[in-house]
Amino acid sequence: MTRNPAPAPRLRPFGQVDVFSAEPYRGNPLAVVVDAEGLPADVMQQFANWTNLAETTFLLPPTDPAADYRVRIFTGSEEFPFAGHPTLGSAHAWLEAGGIPRQDGVLVQECGAGLVRVKGDGGRLAFAAPPLTRSGPVSEAELSQVAAGLGMSREALLDASWLVNGPNWIGVLLESAEAVLSIRPDYAAMAGLKVGVIGPYPAGSGVGFEVRTFIPGDAAAEDPVTGSFNAGAAQWLIRSGRAPESYVAAQGTALGRAGRIHVDAVGDDIWVGGSSVSCIEGFVLL
């Protein structure tokens, strides 16, 4: 069988967007190839590996008539069906490139997980948290591995749940934000797991929770700010009564970032939002 040759490289619009921060270089960077039409998946994967960021996205014409655009999301080593900060950063880049949503006030992103709604929210963008494809108890063997990876006793893990909406997150609740910030991860002990940790701040702090997420073996082993985990954690914590229907979470503090994730439960939806700012604009040869 004859394989179709790869398209000749050409200059494509490209940007890097800082997500979950209104202040440049204090959130989570995302590389976005704004026009990726015709690019083979192996080229996308190679470029995502080269950017050395947590994720790189590629914007394409939609295949679903209800969508405004389609996105493919790659880490340095794999493709994700959905991820949170790539959703907000891609929507920001698409709008800045002149995209006009079919519906006033709401754009629809097509991705591997299906259709995701994104809306404006007081100068920020927010996505509707997709349904969890896996939730519920984590095995004792896995919890023991998580505890070892976090350098904590098993008893320090107050509760845990699978929170899968693309990435295979294990969510862990700790006693306090201070306990979250004290973690010194052992990535070798945690190998093979994606772990997100959340702990509450005292009342009146202005921020409800501190969050950290760990992905052993990834280019960014600790992710600065993580939309997919925060979406799953919000569904878990709000529906179990551990969090109010509206709160702000901080993430990236341990890395010198200042990520802020705004969570709001409205009807059956949980919206996860934050500010985005473009930091690099230009072209890439692909």
Report, as residue numbers or ranges, the catalytic residues. Answer: 55
For residues 59 and 91, what is the distance between their CA atoms, to the nearest angstrom?
9
Bridge partners of residue 71, in order along the sequence = 59
79, exposed or middle or buried, with CB in 10 Å at 0-12, 13-18, 19+? Answer: middle
Integer CA distances (angstroms), 2 to 5, 38, 59, 176, in order: 9, 18, 28, 59
Q: Decide: 200 and 209 in contact? Cβ < 8 Å.
A: yes
Q: Which two tokens stand for residue 7?
A: 């398209």
Bridge partners of residue 202, in order along the sequence = none
Q: Which two tokens stand for residue 54?
A: 């947590």
DSSP 261-285: EEEEEETTEEEEEE-EEEEEEEEEE
For residues 110 and 87, what is the distance between their CA atoms, to the nearest angstrom?
10
Q: For residue 49, which phi and psi values (nearest 5 degrees)?
A: -65, -40
